[in-house]
Structure 1
Amino acid sequence: MVMRPPIRTKPSGGVGRRALLLGTALWCAAGATGCSQDTGPSPGSRTAPPAAGTRTAAGAAAASTSAPASAPASAPASAPSAKLPAPAPWRPGPGEIEPAVKLAAVRLVEALGTWPSGRGGPRNAAARAAALGISGPLAGRLAAQAGPLTPVADQAVVRVIDAQYGGILPDTASVLIPYTQYTRTGSAVHEGGTTIDVRLERTGAGWAVTALRPGRPGPPAVPLGDSARAVLAQPRIELPPAAAADIRSGAVHEGVLRAMLRLADSCRVSVSVVRSGHPANVFGTARPSDHPAGRAFDVWRIDGRPVVDPATPRSLVSAFMRAAAAAGSYNVGGPVQLSGGNGANQFFSDATHHDHVHIGFAG
């Protein structure tokens, strides 16, 4: 596959993103590296509570061959109690390039996907969007586009895992939001979720959401390959609902799976996006992204340290990026511009990848 030159965009100054859940202080000795191949500027933002919403491979393994095809992103797990966890609003921390963009996207996702008993349905969803200051007609359109974010349920709570850029340009942006959603129907509580691509435009009043594009992972593959099962069973690989479902679907490239396993040998890897919910094209271009083809994954946290957090050592991120290249990635992007590599474009850095590491593979 021909190397693709990275799209560079001017970072727009800003702040925002708090380190959350600092994990083990392991050093990625084997050289971990990775990043994504979209465009635009951006750092990463922080997510809600530590464990809520992030699905580890261990939990996904049991469902790897039995998750129902109707599950939007992860195999729902039911609990005997009808009590839902409390909402925990996501907030950006230090290091964000354009925190206002992410906040506008996240607040809408949280509003659409969280409601008290008896307040479900499209009309109520549109009202919650309108309460954020969105015009009535647009609020109705966004509620209609929400899909798996507004399932039929008596009550629901969304907890955002992360907010990362799918791309950011001077007047347009894509924010990718993996989330876990807890719903109650009758006396049963279910856990699900997916990743949603939120599109925004800059207006005179600030950044405004214009469209929602929820990820819809495919049904589980039967049988599932050995590498996919190994990834789902590896507790050092943290997978949000849509990413776990992508791997269960059997549509993820073997090189991606092996790289995840290799990187997890030396550090804990928190994946944000694999296939579902990612823009089809590198943002702002007509070039196909490697993500929808199952040939890339993004990492937003390394050993519990958010990539976007200024307190995360750049040496840790650099080592991780080089390890991703050593694991076979032809296109590694992140917040650090590295030299060397097997090609002129093997390593890249721009504002979009300020908040995560992208790890792409040739077909």
Structure 2
Amino acid sequence: MSGADAAVVEVTDAQYGGILAGSASVLVVCRQWTRTGGGPVVAGGTTVDVRLTEAAPRWSVGELHPAAPGPAAGSLPEAARRVLDEDRIQLPAAAEADVRGGGVHASVLRAMLRLAERYRIDVSVVRSGHPLNVFGTGRPSDHPPGRAFDVWRIDGHAVVDRATPRALVEAFMRDAAAAGSYNVGGPLLPAGAGAGPQFFTDDTHHDHVHAGFGD
């Protein structure tokens, strides 16, 4: 991930980008510190779409697809600047670069800000580093065009942790829908009245909450 002389990598999160019977996509969110020669230590990071295939005695790593968020935009809309400044929204390096690049849709930015009024959210993926299509299908994902984001931790509780209160994840999913998401996926289906067709759950989303936006 770097041409530096020395590098240290810390994996902060690994979530499914998709899982099938014999293959999977795992999105590995990394922090990285590099140094070239006697120069300063430079902090950075990326997200890598790691493709796995079933093999014996264990699954094997096939392809690696690092995030390529592109350069920062010359100017940003107010909502993007507010997201970058909001300490209740934690963005990993690739997701932060997505926002700085100006390619994240306004509906996503507004939803993040609205959710941050109630929750502290740790985002895993926005645009870059996610498969182009919904894994295992030919259907385009909402992530690459900047119309979705994934959250792996809410108020300090990892979504995948069985100790995380169900009520917290359920409330967050409902609030994501209220913030405009037409497609909210997670490890459970909200119970009771109002749990409409915008909610879904599957094996891929047992470790994060996905919020997708149509406009």
TM-score (norm 2): 0.97
Indicate which of 74, 79, 85 corresponds to 1:227: 79
Residue identity opposite 1:329 in structure 2:
S
Residue identity opposite 1:287 in structure 2:
R
Gaps of 5+ in 1: 1-148
Determine which structure has greater relative contact order: mean sequence separation of CA pairs < 8 Å that are 6+ residues apart, divided by chain length. Answer: 1
Deviation at 1:223, TM superposition (A): 1.0
Specify the SS of the correspondent of 2:41.
strand
Determine whether 1:273 maps to 2:120.
Answer: no
Determine whether 1:214 maps to 2:60.
Answer: no
Could you tell me which residue of structure 2 aligns to residue 184 of structure 1?
A: 35
Residue identity opposite 1:183 in structure 2:
T
In the alignment, the residues of structure 1 paired with residue 133 and residue 112 of structure 2 have an alpha-carbon distance, to the nearest angstrom, of: 23
In the alignment, the residues of structure 2 paired with residue 244 and residue 193 of structure 1 have an alpha-carbon distance, to the nearest angstrom, of: 10
In the alignment, the residues of structure 2 paired with residue 276 and residue 172 of structure 1 have an alpha-carbon distance, to the nearest angstrom, of: 21
Determine whether 1:257 maps to 2:87.
Answer: no
Mapping for residues 60-99 of structure 1, pairs under 5 Å = none
In the alignment, the residues of structure 1 paired with residue 194 and residue 152 of structure 2 have an alpha-carbon distance, to the nearest angstrom, of: 22
CA contact (8 A) 1:338 1:348 kept: no
Residue identity opposite 1:229 in structure 2:
R
Indicate which of 146, 153, 156 corresponds to 2:4: 153
Mapping for residues 272-311 of structure 1, pairs under 5 Å = 272-311=124-163
In the alignment, the residues of structure 2 paired with residue 227 and residue 247 of structure 1 have an alpha-carbon distance, to the nearest angstrom, of: 10
In the alignment, the residues of structure 2 paired with residue 334 and residue 248 of structure 1 have an alpha-carbon distance, to the nearest angstrom, of: 27
**Larger CA Rg, structure 1 vs 2:** 1
CA contact (8 A) 1:325 1:341 kept: no
In the alignment, the residues of structure 2 paired with residue 235 and residue 338 of structure 1 have an alpha-carbon distance, to the nearest angstrom, of: 28
CA contact (8 A) 2:189 2:195 kept: no
Deviation at 1:267, TM superposition (A): 1.1
Could you tell me which residue of structure 2 aligns to residue 324 of structure 1?
A: 176
In the alignment, the residues of structure 2 paired with residue 353 and residue 276 of structure 1 have an alpha-carbon distance, to the nearest angstrom, of: 18
Could you tell me which residue of structure 2 aligns to residue 358 of structure 1?
A: 210
Deviation at 1:342, TM superposition (A): 8.1
In the alignment, the residues of structure 2 paired with residue 290 and residue 179 of structure 1 have an alpha-carbon distance, to the nearest angstrom, of: 22
Residue identity opposite 1:274 in structure 2:
V
In the alignment, the residues of structure 1 paired with residue 175 and residue 110 of structure 2 have an alpha-carbon distance, to the nearest angstrom, of: 12
Could you tell me which residue of structure 2 aligns to residue 164 of structure 1?
A: 15
Residue identity opposite 1:192 in structure 2:
G
Alignment identity in percent? 65
Deviation at 1:274, TM superposition (A): 0.2
Deviation at 1:187, TM superposition (A): 2.9
Deviations 1:11-43 (A, max 9, x none): xxxxxxxxxxxxxxxxxxxxxxxxxxxxxxxxx
Indicate which of 36, 42, 46 corresponds to 1:194: 46
In the alignment, the residues of structure 1 paired with residue 101 and residue 194 of structure 2 have an alpha-carbon distance, to the nearest angstrom, of: 32
Determine whether 1:314 maps to 2:200.
Answer: no
Deviations 1:196-252 (A, max 9, x none): 000000112211001000110021111111000000000000000000000000000
Indicate which of 80, 99, 103 corresponds to 1:247: 99
Specify the SS of the correspondent of 2:175.
helix
RMSD: 1.1
Residue identity opposite 1:157 in structure 2:
V
CA contact (8 A) 1:237 1:264 kept: yes
Deviation at 1:288, TM superposition (A): 0.2
Deviations 1:327-354 (A, max 9, x none): 000000000112555852x000001000
Runs of 4+ aligned residues of structure 1 deviating over 4 Å after TM superposition are 339-343
In the alignment, the residues of structure 2 paired with residue 253 and residue 165 of structure 1 have an alpha-carbon distance, to the nearest angstrom, of: 23
In terms of fraction of residues, the more strand-rich structure is 2
Specify the SS of the correspondent of 1:211.
strand
In the alignment, the residues of structure 2 paired with residue 341 and residue 278 of structure 1 have an alpha-carbon distance, to the nearest angstrom, of: 30
